[in-house]
Amino acid sequence: MNLPSPIQRLYDPIWENQEIELYIKREDLIHPIVNGNKYRKLKYNLETNPKCIITFGGAFSNHIHATASAGKLYNIPTVGIIRGELDENNPTLLHARSCGMDLRFIDRSTYKLKEKSDVAKSIIAEYKDPLILPEGGNNALARKGTSEVAIEINVQLPTVNYIALSAGTGGTASGIISKKRPYQKVLVFSALKGDFLKNEIIDMSRSSDFELQTDYQFGGYARTKPDLISFINQFYNDHDIALDPIYNGKGMFGIIDLIQKRFFPKGSKLVWVLTGGQQGNIAWNYMNGGGLIEI
Ligand SMILES: Cc1ncc(COP(=O)(O)O)c(C=O)c1O
């Protein structure tokens, strides 16, 4: 594993002209497949030496993709309880299956109950002492793992005063908030509609010392708009970095928009935590007939 993940400076007159430094922490470079916040979340869970991992996710889930990959890498059987029906050509599920993940499909209303549903209970009962990971992989050990992102930043670039990242469950943000320095502001860009994540992050991190940005979710979870897709493609042309359309593309769009709106004081040093997720670009192209940059 390539740790600490490298921090790279980005250059563009948009921020250079305001004397703002923008950096990106390349969590996507930790490992070719098991990387980003998925690596951080799995790390301490894997250290419990599970005999088997059972987890939950949607058909295009980064977490399913990463858990299946980690299972193959460390020789641990994995089971994915997937929302909805099998689509034989879905690239995320094809990958998971190629890693040996046992895929079980459950209908959407049963899926909502997760491990409390009878179907999931009977799947779980088939295995001896399985490690059950929630959807998105967010548990206490996962947050211990994500807190190490802040620990690394504070060694690599201690003068940074804004740490920004995207959030789904808020687990990654919570870990980072728990280890940030008092002079650092954490900006959390919600990938979901609404502001309910605020209380969830407060509950998980026991801190309200962060700011939730809710204006850059492009219509809600997994929704995209043409200007987001154009932004991601342009960003790739300018910086040679592929952002995913579900999390990092939306958040980076937000950071640059806030810079243009003069949200950050002159002299600010910002780091964007690139949480991986680029397998989502392949999934997006599969769903939408192409048009988005892939790694
Ligand atoms: C690539 C990527 N970035 C960010 C997130 C959001 O992380 P969290 O759920 O910890 O807020 C996820 C999903 O969990 C993800 O797959």
Q: Does 48 reside within a domain?
A: yes
Question: Do residues 19 and 159 both lie within one domain?
Answer: yes
Question: Do residues 61 and 183 both lie within one domain?
Answer: no
Q: What is the CATH number of the domain that holds 247?
A: 3.40.50.1100
Section 64-86 average pLDDT: 96
Our CA dihedral for 47, 49, 51, 55, rounded to 10 degrees, sits at -10
Which of 169, 178, 217, when mutated, tests ligand 1's pocket best, judged by the most ligand atoms within 8 Å of its CB?
A: 169
| Phi, psi dihedrals of residue 202, rounded to the nearest 5° | -60, -45
Q: Print the domain residue range for 157.
A: 7-33+143-288
Question: Do residues 130 and 163 both lie within one domain?
Answer: no
Query: Into how many domains does the chain fold?
Result: 2
Q: Ligand 1: which residues within 6 Å by Cβ?
A: 36-37, 62, 136, 138, 166-173, 244, 247, 275-277
**Using CA atoms, how far apart are residues 174 and 49, in angstroms rounded to an integer?**
25
Nearest-atom number in ligand 1 for the CA of 244 is: 1
Q: Does 295 reside within a domain?
A: no
pTM, 2 dp: 0.96
- Which of the listed residues 104, 137, 170 is the one where a domain comes to its end? 137
Please tell me the distance between residue 246's alpha carbon and the centre of ligand 1 in angstroms. 9
- What's the whole-number average pLDDT of the chain? 97
Section 250-254 average pLDDT: 98
The pLDDT score that the predictor gives to residue 246 is: 97
Question: Do residues 201 and 231 both lie within one domain?
Answer: yes
Please tell me the distance between residue 136's alpha carbon and the centre of ligand 1 in angstroms. 7
Nearest-atom number in ligand 1 for the CA of 169 is: 9
Q: Does 172 reside within a domain?
A: yes
Section 9-20 average pLDDT: 98
Question: Do residues 131 and 174 both lie within one domain?
Answer: no
Please tell me the distance between residue 17's alpha carbon and the centre of ligand 1 in angstroms. 31
Question: Do residues 153 and 84 both lie within one domain?
Answer: no
Which has the closest alpha carbon to 114: 73, 57, 70?
Answer: 57
Question: Do residues 43 and 113 both lie within one domain?
Answer: yes
- Which of the listed residues 82, 112, 137 is the one where a domain comes to its end? 137
Answer yes or no: is pLDDT of 90 > 90. Answer: yes
The pLDDT score that the predictor gives to residue 295 is: 84
The pLDDT score that the predictor gives to residue 282 is: 96
Q: Does 1 reside within a domain?
A: no
